[in-house]
Amino acid sequence: MNYLFKIFLIFIFVAPNCYSLGNSYYQKKYDATKKLYLGAIISNKKNHKQKEIEYLKKLILYGDKLRINTIKYKRELNRLDDKTVLKNKVNVKSILKPKYSIKSVKQYKHTITIEFNHKIDTKYIDFVEKKEKGFYFDNFYIKGNYKYANPTKLKMKGVYKIQIYQKKKNLLVISFKNKKNLKTIYIINKNQIIIKVLAGFTKQHSKTYKKRAKPKKSKPKTIKQKVKVIQNNDIFYPFKKTIVIDAGHGGKDSGATNKKRYEKNIVLKIAKYLKQDLQKMGFKVYLTRSKDIYVKLSHRTRFANKRKADMFISIHANAARKARAKKAHGVETYFLSPARSERAKRVAALENKGDMSKMGWSSKNSLLTILNRAKITAANKMAIDVQKNMLYKLRKTYGKKAIRDGGVREGPFWVLVGAQMPSILVEVGYISHPKEGYRISTRRYQKLISKGISEGVKSYFIKN
């Protein structure tokens, strides 16, 4: 009887303390591993991916011991390591890939929504516009497979023909055919691609807006001051937005150089052209620097925050090592996020070195804690529109082969950290390239890229 009573006392008093001791041990391990994992994400080392996988496995192990929901780490581990497939009782479907990646294709008026079974990015869609035999073709190539591709019928008023078909096992095609340019646009939203046709309702939209914006006879001046209207392609849009343009480097910081060409001078000229173009559209525009002076990176975003800007655009020119100088060329657009690609890290290191050299682990770690998910999503959309329009303007003059598409990329750029609005960094070309280095220093190229950025900004605000 006494023996049983002793066991009972041990169970009541000792066991909970043992559990709490074990709990605190795993909590310390979990917290320490989390710091190491975040460090691996922003690391420039070659083996960062292997380290991420190693720390993710430990986070899942310690998290399960602590009864913490580790679903996000399991998803990330499945994404990085193809060999690992982890099941989770909470949401198995979000981890295991379904047979068909596209859940549905729905149409409402002039909008087609393609919904996936997982989150997507810009790599999942490719857009090609062409004209053949008197018809305009807007072709969307979507990475994914849809079970009901062939039975689905799509029809729109004002559109001659829409085709949807599975070209390959993992390639869905949606093709628009019409006698007039349809002015199609697309938006990526988490697990959806939304395709909109603007041409089908532009005239009607402009008429209704004309009626609203029509000034009264008694007070024409006050109404003109209140409403700013921009006319473009028979569509009327009011812009009451503030944009801050940041010309990279300046003063003692020349940026990238090639012979007598300096990045700081090239980007300042483009920034001034861009300011003029955006002001003509009705935007309120500020420059972080209007002359050759040095401005700290942190002061640039602080400047934008004080003016309550709706958008922050930092302009730079790229450069490559001597071994790659003749090969590396093209335009690129970056938005703030922990970089995964080696190129993004290399470019970020080049642009960040002005202020990053003095930063320790805690400062670099704050890069991740400052990030705002909603701001990143908006910046990603904005970067897509700017990149697309820059390519269009430049290729129209110089040809497709001459202007390489460097793409929209994520990058840990210190100049974008701290901005309280969607912000992007544009690399207008490679100053180190023999042809492109000369080209970006010409007024013709600078004005074209300015037009491309301004059109991209306008497109972003129209969609959003």
Strand partners, 172: 142, 166
> CA-to-CA distance for 45 and 69, rounded, in angstroms?
29
Which of the residue ranges 208-212, 289-293, 341-345, 366-370 would you say has the lowest mean pLDDT?
A: 208-212
Residues 331 and 265 in one domain: yes
Q: Is the sign of the CA dihedral 394, 397, 400, 401 positive or negative?
A: negative
pLDDT the model gives residue 403:
94
- Tell whether 342 is covered by a domain: yes
pLDDT band at 153 (very low <50, low <70, confident <90, very high): confident
* Portion of the chain with pLDDT greater than 70, in percent: 72
Average pLDDT over residues 360-382: 60
Residues 55 and 149 in one domain: no
pLDDT band at 14 (very low <50, low <70, confident <90, very high): very low
Which CATH number goes with the domain that contains 178? Answer: 2.60.40.3500
Residues 311 and 455 in one domain: yes
Model confidence pLDDT, tens digit, residues 400-457: 999 999 999 887 676 676 677 888 999 999 999 999 999 999 999 999 999 999 999 9
pLDDT the model gives residue 231:
37
- Tell whether 227 is covered by a domain: no
- Radius of gyration from C-alpha coordinates of the chain: 27
Q: What are the backbone angles phi and psi of residue 335, rounded to the nearest 5°?
A: -130, 160
Asked which of 80, 112, 138 is the last residue of a domain, the reply is: 80
Residues 113 and 180 in one domain: yes
User: What does the H/E/C string look like for the chain?
Assistant: CHHHHHHHHHHHHHHHHHHHHHHHHHHHHHHHHHHHHHHHHCCCCCCHHHHHHHHHHHHHHHHHHCCCCCHHHHHHHHHHCCCCCCCCCCCCCCCCCCCCCEEEEEEECCEEEEEECCCCCHHHEEEEEEEECCEEEEEEEEECCCCCCCCCCCCCCCCCEEEEEEEECCEEEEEEEECCCCCEEEEEECCEEEEEECCCCHHHHHHHHHHHHCCCCCCHHHHHHHCCCEEECCEEECCCCEEEEEECCECCECCCEECCEEHHHHHHHHHHHHHHHHHHCCCEEEECCCCCCCCCHHHHHHHHHHCCCCEEEEEEEECCCHHHCCCCCCEEEEEECCCCCHHHHHHHHHHHHHHHCCCCHHHHHHHHHHCCHHHHHHHHHHHHHHHHHHHHHHHHHHCCCCCCEEEEEEECCCCCCCCCCCEEEEEEEECCCHHHHHHCCCHHHHHHHHHHHHHHHHHHHHHC
For residue 185, is pLDDT > 60?
yes
For residue 349, is pLDDT > 60?
no
> CA-to-CA distance for 378 and 369, rounded, in angstroms?
18
Note down the domain range covering 420: 239-463
- Tell whether 88 is covered by a domain: no
pLDDT the model gives residue 414:
65
Average pLDDT over residues 187-193: 87
Put simply, whether the predicted model's pTM sits higher than 0.75 gets the answer no
For residue 286, is pLDDT > 80?
yes
Which of 116-130, 149-163, 278-292 ranks highest by mean pLDDT?
278-292
Strand partners, 164: 174
Nearest residue to 448 (alpha-carbon basis) of 380, 377, 389, 378: 389
- Tell whether 219 is covered by a domain: no
Model confidence pLDDT, tens digit, residues 221-255: 433 333 333 333 333 344 579 999 999 999 999 99
Strand partners, 189: 192
pLDDT band at 464 (very low <50, low <70, confident <90, very high): confident
How many independent structural domains does the chain possess?
3
pLDDT the model gives residue 223:
35
Model confidence pLDDT, tens digit, residues 30-51: 888 887 877 777 665 666 678 8
Which of the residue ranges 5-9, 146-150, 238-242, 441-445 would you say has the lowest mean pLDDT?
A: 5-9
* Portion of the chain with pLDDT greater than 90, in percent: 33
Q: What is the mean pLDDT of the chain?
A: 77
Residues 448 and 302 in one domain: yes
Which CATH number goes with the domain that contains 349? Answer: 3.40.630.40
pLDDT the model gives residue 282:
87
Report the length, in residues, of the chain: 464
User: Please, which residues have CB within 8 angstroms of residue 340's CB and are 6 or more apart in sequence?
Assistant: 410
Average pLDDT over residues 56-61: 86
Higher-confidence residue of 344 and 119: namely 119
pLDDT the model gives residue 213:
42
User: Please, which residues have CB within 8 angstroms of residue 13's CB and are 6 or more apart in sequence?
Assistant: none
Residues 257 and 387 in one domain: yes
- Per the CB < 8 A criterion, the answer to whether 166 and 158 are in contact is no
Average pLDDT over residues 166-178: 91
pLDDT the model gives residue 209:
37
Residues 137 and 55 in one domain: no
- Tell whether 33 is covered by a domain: yes
Residues 194 and 68 in one domain: no
For residue 89, is pLDDT > 50?
no
Residues 66 and 110 in one domain: no
Residues 340 and 459 in one domain: yes
pLDDT the model gives residue 348:
52
Which of the residue ranges 213-217, 322-326, 351-355 would you say has the lowest mean pLDDT?
A: 213-217
Higher-confidence residue of 331 and 180: namely 331
Q: Is the sign of the CA dihedral 340, 342, 345, 351 positive or negative?
A: negative
Residues 249 and 141 in one domain: no
* Separation in Å, CA 53 to CA 96, 228, 279: 18, 53, 48
Residues 358 and 433 in one domain: yes
Neighbour count for residue 246 (Cβ, 10 Å): 28
**First-last CA distance in the chain:** 76
- Tell whether 27 is covered by a domain: yes
- Tell whether 70 is covered by a domain: yes
Asked which of 200, 220, 248 is the last residue of a domain, the reply is: 200
Q: What are the backbone angles phi and psi of residue 407, rounded to the nearest 5°?
A: 90, 175
- Tell whether 428 is covered by a domain: yes
- Per the CB < 8 A criterion, the answer to whether 351 and 424 are in contact is no
- Per the CB < 8 A criterion, the answer to whether 206 and 235 are in contact is yes
